[in-house]
Amino acid sequence: MEPYWLCGKLVDYRGLLGEGCLRIAGGRIVELSKIPKPGEGVRDYIGKGVLVAPGFIDIHVHLRGLEQSYKETEETGGWAAARAGITLIVDMPNTVPRASTPDIVALKLADLSKAPVDHSLFAGIPESQDLEGVSRLPIAGYKIYPNDLLELRTSKVLREWRGLVVLHPELPESEMIIEEKVWSRGILRGCWMEAVSLEVVASVGPVSRIHVTHASCPATIVLAKKLGYSVDVAPHHLLYDYRDGDGCMYKVNPPIRGSGEKASLQQMLLNGVIDAVASDHAPHALWEKSDPLYCSPGIPWLEVWPWIIHRLVSARALSLGEFHRLVSRGPARILGLKDYGSLHPGARANLVVYNPNIRSRFEGPRHSMARHYPSIMQEVSGWPVEVIVGGVTVYYMDQPVHAKPGINPFTSRMLSRPA
């Protein structure tokens, strides 16, 4: 692709940077200049009422695939992300079969390359004999689920893997609870479980970097910070409480909590304590969400969530710079990707050009296969005009552009990875 210039009102985690032009070549931002140099193509957004920002990063998505391709696939989920302006996604390993052996992890990574956006995977905690084989693959790190927490294989990962380990902060007992009412699930799967799960990990004395995804309780965030762990929150814990809706559409793990927890999470977000927002996009088939007793937990956010969080910017509660830190720079730092989440020269040219002034209702997903979107979560503020991955347009004026420039950023980092 020929080098080109993208001009507009630039913004990233530092806030508004003013009008300027990015020179894009070889999939990267290579230069920042007030005006484009002559002789090269220019895409000019100056004076069009839009902002040019780093693409969003979602470090917690369930794209399913394999035997659960009836719920979502790497391709449908990848396009859902592209539509929302999310240009890097990290998939989760609670697939069927579980992505915790070298073969299945390699298969999942291959399937993820069908996404139009950049991608990687957190591997499940492997049995000892598989650890070396999985660690050699371009994964973003490992994921601890409640059922892994007390197992020796988890201690081995925490003591030996020098990369990132992400923790779902609940206890194995939580998996035995079948109570369905949103408010009583909040009590049975109480906040104490989150805190204890962090203490269990800390007691191993990990050499891994620990990230907690997703904290639903303020005390979990306080403890995570005390232990030196990074932490994200999901949009549903931040914006809703159990009075907003009941029943299966609102069933999610950890549960949506009370108004006090919600208010406190919001304060922590506004005070800059939280490292990132991540969706926990958890798609299921409609029939799985319709069973009144055993219905599957999860909310499928991927195609819209950044624009629901952006409501906080429109309401002047969250600054523009903080918004971009939470949805792109913060997640890039958690992943250890210095060349993501900013407009610094050298960064990967993953960009979202968006109109911050649009107010609309999200009418439901176009790409994601999940149709169980809770109706109260539809009010959006802002929407992308153009979404760019590695310098290539994948979405323009709310229409997909059939290009697949997505890469796994961990592939090129394999050589520099510590043993």
Closest CA to 385 of 397, 394, 375: 397
Residues 260-299 that bind ligand NCD (CB under 6 A): 280, 282, 297-298
| Binding-residue total with ligand NCD (CB under 6 A) | 9
**Binding partner of 36, given ligand NCD, Zn ion, none, CB within 5-8 angstroms per partner class:** none
Confirm whether 118 is a catalytic residue: no
- Residue 258 CB, nearest approach to ligand NCD (Å): 18
Residues 295-354 that bind ligand NCD (CB under 6 A): 297-298
Rank residues 297 and 384 by Cβ distance to ligand NCD and give the closer one: 297
User: Applying CB under 5 A, does 72 fall inside the site for Zn ion?
Assistant: no
260 burial level (CB within 10 Å; 0-12, 13-18, 19+): exposed
**Binding partner of 298, given ligand NCD, Zn ion, none, CB within 5-8 angstroms per partner class:** ligand NCD
Beta bridge partners of 123: 142
d(CA 118, CA 404): 9
**Considering 280, 291, 339, 398, which one is annotated as catalytic?**
280
**Binding partner of 252, given Zn ion, ligand NCD, none, CB within 5-8 angstroms per partner class:** ligand NCD
Residue least distant from ligand NCD (Cβ): 297
- Residue 19 CB, nearest approach to ligand NCD (Å): 41
User: Applying CB under 6 A, does 253 fall inside the site for ligand NCD?
Assistant: yes
User: Applying CB under 6 A, does 118 fall inside the site for ligand NCD?
Assistant: no
User: Applying CB under 6 A, does 252 fall inside the site for ligand NCD?
Assistant: yes
Neighbours of 46 (CB within 10 A): 13
Rank residues 23 and 168 by Cβ distance to Zn ion and give the closer one: 168
User: Applying CB under 6 A, does 94 fall inside the site for ligand NCD?
Assistant: yes
User: Applying CB under 6 A, does 116 fall inside the site for ligand NCD?
Assistant: no
- Mask 36-65, x = binds ligand NCD (CB under 6 A)? --------------------------x---
Rank residues 148 and 280 by Cβ distance to ligand NCD and give the closer one: 280
- Residue 252 CB, nearest approach to Zn ion (Å): 9
Beta bridge partners of 359: 381
- Residue 344 CB, nearest approach to ligand NCD (Å): 32
- Residue 252 CB, nearest approach to ligand NCD (Å): 4
What are φ and ψ of residue 366, in 5° steps?
-105, -35
- Mask 131-170, x = binds ligand NCD (CB under 6 A)? -------------------------------------x--
d(CA 338, CA 340): 6
Rank residues 75 and 280 by Cβ distance to Zn ion and give the closer one: 280
**Binding partner of 382, given ligand NCD, Zn ion, none, CB within 5-8 angstroms per partner class:** none
Structure tokens at 289: 């969400």
C-beta separation of 221 from 215 below 8 A? yes
Rank residues 296 and 342 by Cβ distance to ligand NCD and give the closer one: 296
Written as one letter, the residue type at 389 is V
Rank residues 61 and 84 by Cβ distance to ligand NCD and give the closer one: 61
Rank residues 166 and 313 by Cβ distance to ligand NCD and give the closer one: 166
User: Applying CB under 5 A, does 280 fall inside the site for Zn ion?
Assistant: yes
Residue positions annotated with a catalytic role: 280
- Which residues would be at the binding site for ligand NCD (CB under 6 A)? 62, 94, 168, 252-253, 280, 282, 297-298
- Which residues would be at the binding site for Zn ion (CB under 5 A)? 280
